[in-house]
Structure 1
């Protein structure tokens, strides 16, 4: 539960935005608490007149509020268009764009900075003003304008389907490459079902989003216990359903430690190979529908799916991963042939009336058949 909460906070669109805004607020507080200026030798950079400071702060706050509202409006329009034209499952990838969060955080933080200084400047009990506050306000305002220009460019890019599909492809590719890095530790061995006498379950339901694989392997080696993941990654876990089998009984403290290595979240898993394939298939199917009528996008998605299959094939069949210090974790991925069957059958059902798309699907299967003759025809 804790791992799921931490992961949700870290990946939230508001996480980086909040940190940057808080940093701007702290800067304003420090200027108020320590108004002695380090730049007294540069008097042209300092503004000491309270009326001038109030004018600059008010002007900056008004302008940035306008820019912020426009920025949020553009972002919401992008999300709405992405939901309508592609797939709502791709929205998390758009929300995780760091530059969007940095831009929103900088504009919001500048507003907070100006508000804190305004409160201090407007107080009649204070006779010493942070003379560097107004010049910094002007500087931050200029930075926000340039960031807004970049934001328009970034948003205009992110609404292109090629960009969205490429992002999904790159995300899935990174997950596959992560698995390929432990190829030498993967093996396929006969599972002794008699050893699994105990299991771990959760009191809440949700999607099995992630496991801290290396952490579980370290626990396995330290306490001489084997683990077996009972649910495929990305699947839904019901309340009280067994998720992890263990080879021997453990105390409550260690069991809680193990639970923190498993993330069961309310959101659909995005860091799962099969989910990445599923999202691309949804885009291809929707693009081929009469409502969207964009077979070009479907062709692009098929090309990317073919490349992902070529990478996925490099992961050998396995049901066990070992650590270098004798830790053992049993788990596996959806078999490659089963994944191929789902992907091609799903697209063929919705693209059966388009000869060009069917031809593209056959070309893709032919490419994969040269590597593996068992690809479904």
Structure 2
């Protein structure tokens, strides 16, 4: 039962990120509200208001038809324009920045809710217009429902103005990188907090039983609480071999266990590993590094040639690496000071290499951006309090690679001398 609830929650979380989720939900509310108002009108609310507050009721059938017809036509036009703007946004983001940023833009709840408001109001107007009887008298006309349609249309106009403002901000590269940075940083903060009282001590796992994956896809998430509870209840330990965010193939090693698991227990444990064809920053901070790196590389491509964007991306990467240096390379989950679950993660050295390697390739000829990278490495190596010497050594190795690439691409002696001065702290 617990597994069904957990999997159901994860499914709803994925469903919520789809672009059609909120428009569908809001549309259902619009239809339900239209039928509710039809029920209320049959109870005589318009007749009551006509006698007591006539200003709140539209009492002319032709006027009501004209208002609702105009609203329906106008809403369709607004919806077409809004959806077109969303498609332009996604196309421009994919072309100028990276296709990886699309899921984050699509899952923008504000835009989804605005489209949902359009749909709900449109459906409400349609059902309200259908309920009008052309030959009915003023007491049969759903005048109050028409007034509510006017109010909802005013809300739609306000939402449309906000939509134009929001989407014009959303396409700016600074805001895209800020969103990616914030999501990755929040994920890192959670992981660092969870490791505060953990220990690095864990038994050797070479002789443990290895269990293979039954699915193919990105290891999007590992639901850790039930894994830890399972290990505690069954007096066993786990070593998760696959790295979160890694593309795992079927029948490849997924995890090890200190005891053999029966078929039913194995099925329970495997259900805690969530596979997907999509990657989400909220579940995997490494994707944040990848997306910002791809934006930096794309900005330095000949077709775009925007070193300013690359420098901003390096600033964001510097802060993310600074945060990453506070995290351990291996995560250990404990219960009562007993280490029960070991989780392999992308090491700092590997992450630093996969971020800097493509950037070095594209910026090695640009003195200003190379110096910006050197400042990043200097900051991480000498200004960040890190108790892990392997992190500092990895930074020095990358500084050496950057210097070699710059020497091969830059022929100006004055520029090389300037780069050497900035790298003097590394004693290369």
Task: Confirm or deny a common fold (TM above 0.5).
Answer: yes
Deviation of residue 209 (structure 1)?
A: 0.8
Q: Which structure: larger Rg?
A: 2
Q: 1:44 aligns with which of 49, 55, 76?
A: 55
Q: 1:331 aligns with which of 343, 352, 368?
A: 343
Residue 6 of structure 1 deviates from its aligned partner by 3.4
CA–CA distance in structure 2, aligned partners of residues 346 and 231 of structure 1: 24
Q: Which residue of 1 aligns with 2:88?
A: 77
Q: Check conservation: 1:3, 1:263, Cα contact below 8 A.
A: no
Of the three residues 44, 54, 76, the one matched with 2:65 is 54
Q: Distance in 2 between matches of 1:225 and 1:128?
A: 72
User: Partner of 1:373 in structure 2?
Assistant: 392
1:114 aligns with 2:125: yes
Which residues of 2 match residues 9-158 of structure 1 at below 5 A? 9-35=15-41, 36=43, 37=45, 40=49, 41-121=52-132, 128-158=140-170
Shift of 1:48: 4.2
Please, which moves more after superposition, 131-140 or 51-60? 51-60
Partner of 2:409: none
The residue aligned with 2:297 is: 285
CA deviation vs aligned residue, 1:292-339 (integer Å, no higher than 9, x gap) = 000000000001100111111111343421245968221032111221
Residue 178 of structure 2 corresponds to which residue in structure 1?
166
Structure 2 residue 233 is the aligned partner of structure 1 residue 227: no
User: Which of 274, 283, 287 does residue 263 from structure 1 map onto?
Assistant: 274
Q: Which residue of 2 aligns with 1:212?
A: 223
Instruction: Note if 1:191 corresponds to 2:197.
Output: no
Unaligned runs of 5+ in 2: 1-6, 385-390, 400-428
Task: Give the corresponding residue for 1:272.
Answer: 284
Question: C-alpha distance in 1, partners of 2:34/2:157?
Answer: 20
| TM-score, normalised relative to structure 1 | 0.91
In structure 2, distance between residues paired with 1:329 and 1:69? 51
**In the alignment, what sits opposite 2:13?**
7
- Cα pair distance change 1:319/1:118, threshold 3 Å: same
Change beyond 3 A, Cα 1:30–1:359: same
Check 1:2–1:201 CA distance in 2 against 1; reply closer, same or farther (3 A cut).
farther
Q: Relative to 1, partners in 2 of residues 1:246 and 1:47: Cα closer, same or farther, differing over 3 Å? A: farther
Corresponding residue for residue 298 of structure 1: 310
Whole-angstrom distance in 1 between the partners of 2:53 and 2:123: 27
Note the aligned Cα RMSD (angstroms).
2.5
Give the Cα–Cα distance (whole angstroms) in 1 for the partners of residues 64 and 339 of structure 2: 63
> Higher mean Cα deviation, 7-16 or 103-112?
7-16
**Post-superposition offset of 1:128:** 4.4
Q: Distance in 2 between matches of 1:368 and 1:253?
A: 48
TM-score where L is the length of structure 2: 0.81
Specify whether residues 70 and 222 from structure 1 end up closer, same or farther in structure 2 by C-alpha distance, changes over 3 A only: same
In 2, the alpha carbon distance for the partners of 1:244 and 1:57 equals 61
Contact (CA 8 Å) 1:32, 1:129: kept in 2 or not? no
Structure 1 residues 21 and 208, CA gap change in structure 2 (3 angstroms):
same
Give the secondary structure class of the aligned counterpart of 1:69.
helix
